[in-house]
Amino acid sequence: MLELTVFFSGALVMVLEMVGARVLAPYVGTSAIVWTSLIGVVLACLALGAWAGGRMADRHLSRRGLALALAGAGLGCALTALCHPLVGQWVTEGIGNLYVAAVAAAVGIFALPALFFGAISPYAIRLRIGSVDTAGATVGRLYALSTAGSILGTFLGGFVLISFFGSASILWGVAVCMMALSLCNAARGGKVRAALLSLCLIGAVMNGMYGSWQENRGGVRLVESPYNSIRVYEGMDWGEGGRAVRLMATDPGYSQSGMYLEAPNELYFRYTQFYALGPHFVPGASRVLMLGGGGYSVPKWLLSEQTPLAKPADARVTVVELDPAMTDTARRWFALRDDPRLTVRHEDARAFLNRQREQYDLVFVDVFNSHYAVPFQMGTREAAAALRKAVAPGGVMLMNVISAVEGPDGQLFQSIFNALEPSFAEVRVYLAGGEAPDRLQNLMVAAFAERREDSAFVANADAGVVGSVANGTGAATAGRSPGAVELSNMLASRYTGPLTFASPALTDDFAPVERYTLVLLRQ
């Protein structure tokens, strides 16, 4: 039984760590900073627990001591499942620095179970050592079993559990398993631990019932996947006269996709309307590649009756979205419908670019690994070369970047710009957020396969080729959304300052995007 305990404890502690990123995501995001904080805190607590467990094993060696360590780990997981929303909310509201907030959240949520998990191995080793002559073999065997369990837990948590169960359900499940292991290791005091096991089982059942109740009453829907913790919720857009909206979020304080409930094909976010620059620059465009699906607002718009494409019937839109759960969420809650003109590929955008050989009139890039940063591998010189190969002669690539253009807050854009410039004939930037160049905002970066003349673009805009892009084609209509951006205003938002920057271009070898986005992390 002791060997099985060590094996399963090793597996369950890794399940705890794998689900930890999903637990922290709604409060501090999913950046490398969060992963670093989680791993560091868990390792520190495991080490402290091992030290304390070893001392206790030398002083009070018994199977009951091991059982109590197992029960402590189970109770800690139960408290984590029960209290993490309160701790996470306190961290979000009380700490503005992401580094401090991530560490504080990891400590407040995972320190207790990790401490008890750390104490299990010293107890088990001390109980199993019968002779000094065989101590090495005993320690090696138990460590090997624990490591094998950890490998199983890593794959089980990352590949299976997170894909099919919510993070709270997984935490309750770990709590139940640890309580069951505690009962199996010592009969003395078993009534109390049996009662705790029963409470954990009740907690797991009630958690599932609460999730179903929330969804049925239209509250926050939570979708867990190996890549994201996706929250879907509804609200009112008072800037648009109180129109009902549905939003998708994967990071705290930010929404990644939005949809008006009465107009599902209308573009909700201002920056998405700037993708209309693509059909304007390439009037005959029909082949579109969209890297990053999210809520599929742009593909829906392109394939709707509101499309700015010249020949909608001939349109072919390919969307590359890493997370299948994103596509499922878009189908379920964001009115994404099957369309023979739409092709969806579930894979990494850079990996897709590296091996695909087709060319597209328009390539749209809207990929983020958190609310603030383009995945570094999509903004490098090497990525720019792959993007250029995907752009057909006369085509254009449009990339959404959150950054300033000028000043210290513009390092991310400047480095991406310097990476794109060698591969494209011309690179322009449009201030999609409507702010001054030194202010953080959405930027729409346009990279052209060939250099273009401004006169043709201006003529097309004056003629109303695309017009009001949020909810119609042609000239602006009286019934358009108040938030619609006129194409002429988009063109007028072009940055006209010097496009010579000292920031080094991002490369696959060196891309410090986390450092460049510190200002966003402080928001």
* Whether the Cβ atoms of residue 263 and residue 471 lie closer than 8 Å to each other: yes
Per the domain annotation, does 428 fall within a domain? Answer: yes
Ranges 202-206, 305-309, 513-517, most confident = 305-309
- Show which of 157, 190, 216 is a domain's final residue: 216
Question: Please, what is the angle between helix 190-216 and helix 167-185, to 10°?
Answer: 170
Cα–Cα separations (whole angstroms), residue 362 to 82, 213, 518:
48, 43, 31
Pairing of strands 342-345, 287-291: unpaired
Distance, CA of 137 to CA of 120 (rounded, Å): 18
The answer to whether residues 111 and 184 belong to one domain is yes
The pLDDT assigned to 227 comes to 82
Are 461 and 487 in contact by the 8 Å Cβ rule? The answer is yes
Q: Is residue 246 part of a domain?
A: no
Q: How far apart, in whole angstroms, are the C-alpha atoms of residue 44 and residue 54?
A: 15
The separation between CA 198 and the C-alpha centre of its own chain, rounded to angstroms, equals 35
48 lies in the same domain as 109:
yes
Task: Enter the DSSP assignment of 338.
Answer: -
Q: For residue 466, what is the domain's CATH number?
A: 3.40.50.150
Does a structural domain hold residue 251?
A: no
Does the residue 317 lie in any domain? yes
Share of the chain above pLDDT 90, in %: 55
Let me know whether 395 and 511 are in one domain.
Answer: yes
What's the pLDDT score for residue 464? 46
Task: Place 483 in a pLDDT band, splitting at 50, 70 and 90.
Answer: low
Phi, psi of 499 (to 5 degrees): -110, 50
Query: 68 with 202, same domain?
Result: yes
| Residue 37 domain boundaries | 2-216
Q: Are residues 203 and 333 in the same domain?
A: no
Residues paired with residue 391 on neighbouring β-strands, in sequence order = 360
What pLDDT was estimated at residue 187? 64
Residues 428 and 321 in one domain: yes
Over the chain, what is the mean pLDDT? 86
Instruction: Among 49-58, 433-442, 470-479, name the one with the lowest average pLDDT.
Output: 470-479
Query: Looking at the structure, do residues 211 and 269 belong to the same domain, yes or no?
Result: no
**Mean pLDDT, to the nearest integer, of 101-122?**
94
- 458 found inside a domain: yes
Token readout for 363 is 């390539």
Separation of alpha carbons 120 and 155, rounded Å: 22
- What pLDDT was estimated at residue 17? 93
pLDDT of residue 521: 55
> Residue 98: inside a domain, yes or no?
yes
Reported pTM: 0.79
Beta strand 441-448 with 426-431 is antiparallel
Return d(Cα 361, Cα 370) in angstroms, integer. 28
Last residue of a domain, one of 157, 185, 216: 216
Orientation angle between helical segments 167-185 and 2-28, nearest 10 degrees:
160
Average pLDDT over every residue of 446-450: 95
Largest CA distance in the chain: 91
Nearest Cα neighbor of 274 from 441, 393, 78 is 441
13 inside domain: yes
Domain of 135, CATH number, reads: 1.20.1250
- Rounded to whole angstroms, the Cα distance separating 432 from 443 reads 5
Q: What is the pLDDT of residues 144-191, one digit of tens each?
A: 999 999 999 999 988 888 878 888 889 999 999 999 998 888 766 677
Listed in sequence order, the DSSP H helices in 186-229 are: 190-216
Query: Residues 266, 368: one domain?
Result: yes
On the CB side of 125, CA atoms within 13 Å amount to 25
Q: Which residue, chain included where needed, has tokens 């903004």?
A: 379
Residue bearing tokens 């999609």 = 432
DSSP 491-521: HHTB--S-----SPPP-SS---HHHHTHHHH
pLDDT tens for 33-85 read 888 999 999 999 999 999 999 998 888 878 888 989 999 999 999 999 989 98
272 domain-assigned: yes
Do 156 and 74 lie in one domain? The reply is yes
Report how many domains make up the chain.
2
Evaluate if residue 460 carries a pLDDT over 60. no
pLDDT at position 130: 63
Is residue 52 domain-shared with residue 195, that is, in the same domain?
Answer: yes
pLDDT at residue 22, as a whole number: 85
The answer to whether residues 168 and 308 belong to one domain is no
Residue 171 and residue 313 in one domain: no
Tokens 């250029």 — which residue? 388
Residue 482 in tokens? 């108040």
| C-alpha radius of gyration, the chain, whole number | 27
In tens, the pLDDT along 237-249 reads 887 788 999 999 8
Domain boundary among 197, 216, 235: 216
pLDDT-derived band of residue 480, with 50, 70 and 90 as boundaries?
A: very low
- Residue 456 has a pLDDT of 53
Q: What is the DSSP letter of 233?
A: E
CA distances from 515 to 99, 254, 340, 462, 519 (A): 12, 20, 43, 42, 9
